[in-house]
Structure 1
Amino acid sequence: MELVKSITRPSEFLALIQFQFGAMKTVQIQDWTKLSPTLKRCYQFLVMTSRSFASVIQALDGELRDAICIFYLVLRALDTLEDDMTIPVEEKTALMKELHENLYNPEWKYRRSQEVDKIVLEEFPVISAEFRNLDKSYRDVIQEITKRMADGMCKYLDCADVNSFEDWNEYCHYVAGLVGIGLSRIFSASKLEDEIVGEDEPLSNSMGLFLQKTNIIRDYLADIQEGRKFWPKEAWSKFAKRLEDFQDASNRDEAVRCLNFLITNALHHVPDAIKYLSRLRNQSVFNFCAIPQVMAIGTLAVCYNNPDVFTTVVKLRKGQAVYMMKRAVSLNAAKIIFHDFAAEIAKIAPKNDPTKDKTLQICETILMLTHVKDSGSSYLPVLSASSVVLFTALWYYYNGTEQVYRFS
């Protein structure tokens, strides 16, 4: 049980308690009476297709909320087409490459998908109607990014492997970097952020690459079991003949060395993340961007030098995740989180790891960039033993012993 995992860590424990009893709920509830029927339906699609994004998107300010909601649903439709293995590649390619044009076709929909999120294709006219209601500055960004993503994703439809680091960066650019670029341009178009946020595409791209590389590294086992290979061959071929060989316990040492190699590569995006966050001015936009980034470095920290990546699902404790969501609401607080995890990775870097020097070098860079004087005001108070007992009793009373948090 997650509460038990965090009971010896007072900050996490209290954050979980606050989360459970609603003390951390900051999302503005939509006034559904003011929404058009189609926009209301779009927010229902959002909740149906992503619990986590539904929360963070609805916490955004003003018209930005609707623009990001529609952007997400359009890209969800594109992703659903890509994931559907029942659609022949030739047909899928045409569907994906035409989606950006069909945003202006009130009648277009696709009813033959077998994917779990097929509703965004079956009811695409609802989404496209709200797309056409957006300001032109938002529509132009969404249509352009949809086209660029589709073109790039189609390039990898028949690709069994990601070969070089250049390929890895390109693939991550198409599936995540372009999302970061689109979001940044929408932030600037809303006037809630300065123009430089939307203009600096390399920085926005790097933000997306950091998140996507983290997902790929963490999801080794699930991807291999489903026949997907996203770790670059240029990396894993230094340690094994086949990427699948890392599942074998006899290859575990080499597997962990490859894991550390890729994590070190991903960490090189952290300086860009810090620079990007330093430019943000709107609180809702900052929260939207900062929380996934600190979660990513936290995930890399728990994966680093961890052989469990090859046998099970490795993830942050729920208490850690909730605590970071509570804390990462300012640049200094985000820096402290980056600093702590970089220090943790540097501390456990194995002496015989072939990537150790590069790992320590990028960690040292992160530590220098994130050095802040922490007054301690952002930390949650330490719980007394009696408080721990009281909160534990309340937890069990209200939730029973089987309560599980789900973040997805």
Structure 2
Amino acid sequence: MTFNQYALLRATSRTFALSIERLPGPVRESLCLAYLILRVSDFLEDNDYMPPERKVALLALWDRILAGAAPAEALVAALADREPEDADAQAARQAPAILAALHRLPPALQNHILVHCRNSTQGMARWVSRGPDIPQEGDMDDYMHEVAGRVGYLVTEVFAWYSGFVRSKLGVLMPLAREFGLALQTVNVIRGLRKDYERGWIYVPESFCAAVDLRRTDLFDPAYQLQALQVLDMLTDKAERHLRSALAYVKALPQWLHALRLACIWPLLFAVRTLAISRHNVSVLMGEVKMTREEVTAIVRDSTLFGWSNRWLDDYYRRLHDTAPAPARLVRASK
């Protein structure tokens, strides 16, 4: 079967495929392959059928493969005991093709991707070993840095390879890049609260719950709904702080790099709108609240036309944040 990296990208994430496929050639190919490598890492960390010890061992193997110390076929062999059930599992089984494509990129791009993907993979392994213990907000940020903040660094270094202007602004952009990653991941945590709880993880800091005299395990008990909504408000406030930095990141990119801006604007604005419909919404504790397709289409259309303007972006961000949501679509988590 012929390897098609973009088809695999679309299968693993339609949202990020939308952004990545808009990018200019070498940046598009680099970030597509980087994303697929990280989907492999995420599958090894996040699947619901492996015990933690096996996850850690496979993440270590994947890290060695990325370092060139083991063949990619070793991962395929290690996963041969179970049929792939989703696109992420399929990506893991196509690791040899993904890495073969990566090694056709310019050496500088390969290095940017491998350094950050290895660091993220090692961080995931550390957190799997540690387990779902998140006492303070700083612990939550540490986890999110490993799985998302480092991605911000990777994307920015690839942008800098492409653009001398971005390269000249790395001192400003790199701290904001981490915040951008934390912003998207905090919104992901909010969206996935129920699903993560059902697989044994609660990414909410214990300190947030303690502030309202609530145990983390009672977040999803209807008897404690009032306190749970207060905790949700703390999470949405946190996400909003990170999103403001993500907005600053986009605004630091010049208008003539419109494709690069759009690749960042779309996940940013999707996150802003998702946060708006999640704030103080009890449905978040019952399942997953999503934007409507019409909202997604409008964001893509409007930002494609006007996203080169920082003034327009500030106003649109505010409108998405402040406009009362339409009735939320609730996707109930599986029992």
Query: Could you tell me the TM-score, scaled by structure 2's length?
Result: 0.84
Report if aligned partners of 1:106, 1:128 keep a CA contact under 8 Å in 2: no
Residue identity matched to 1:139:
Q
Q: What does residue 370 of structure 1 align with?
A: none
Q: Distance in 1 between matches of 2:97 and 2:272?
A: 37
Q: Which amino acid aligns with 2:36?
A: L
Question: The residue matched to 2:73 in structure 1 has which SS?
Answer: coil
Q: Quick check: which one's helix share is greater?
A: 2
Instruction: Tell me if 1:275 matches 2:238.
Output: no
Q: Which residue of 2 aligns with 1:132?
A: 103
AA aligned opposite 1:179: V
Answer whether contact 1:216 1:230 (CA < 8 A) is retained. yes
Q: 1:296 is aligned with what amino acid?
A: A
Give unpaired runs (5+ residues) of structure 1. 1-36, 346-408
Q: Percent identity?
A: 26
TM-superposed deviation, 1:91 = 4.3
Instruction: Look up the match of 2:329.
Output: none
Who is 1:386 aligned against? none
Q: Distance in 2 between matches of 1:46 and 1:261?
A: 33
- Which structure 2 residues correspond to residues 130-169 of structure 1 after superposition, within 5 A? 130-158=101-129, 159-169=131-141
Measured at CA, do residues 307 and 120 of structure 1 come closer, stay the same or move farther in structure 2, by a change above 3 Å?
Answer: closer
Structure 1 residue 185: deviation in Å?
A: 0.6
After superposition, the C-alpha distances for 1:52-97 in whole angstroms (9 at most, x for unaligned) are: 3333222111211111111111111111111235445444324323
Distance 1:107 1:293, change over 3 A: closer
Query: In structure 2, the residue corresponding to 1:126 is in which secondary structure?
Result: helix
Instruction: State the distance in 1 between where 2:150 and 2:209 align.
Output: 26
Partner in structure 2 of residue 178 of structure 1:
150
Residue in structure 1 matched with residue 199 of structure 2 by the alignment? 226
Shift of 1:302: 1.0
Q: 2:260 aligns with which of 247, 267, 285?
A: 285
**1:299 maps onto 2:274 in alignment:** yes
* TM alignment of 1:8-407, pairs within 5 A: 41-103=4-66, 104=68, 108-111=73-76, 112-113=78-79, 114=82, 116=86, 117-158=88-129, 159-191=131-163, 194-199=166-171, 200-281=173-254, 282-328=257-303, 329-330=307-308, 331-344=310-323
Question: How far did residue 339 of structure 1 move?
Answer: 1.6
Q: Does 84-93 or 204-213 show the bigger shift?
A: 84-93
Counterparts of 1:66 and 1:229 in 2: how far apart (Å)?
A: 34
CA distance in 2, matches of 1:312, 1:77: 25
Instruction: Report how many residues are paired.
Output: 308
- Shift in Å at residue 135 of structure 1? 0.7
Q: Greater relative contact order (Cα 8 A, min sep 6): structure 1 or 2? A: 1
Call closer, same or farther: CA 1:303–1:86 in 2, change over 3 Å. Answer: closer
Is residue 250–residue 265 contact of structure 2 (8 Å, CA) maintained in 1?
yes
Question: What amino acid sits opposite 1:288 in the alignment?
Answer: A
Q: Deviations over 1:304-357 (max 9, x none)?
A: 122222223222232222211222223333211222244458xxxxxxxxxxxx
Give the greater-gyration-radius structure (CA): 1
Q: Which runs of 5+ in 2 are unaligned?
A: 325-335
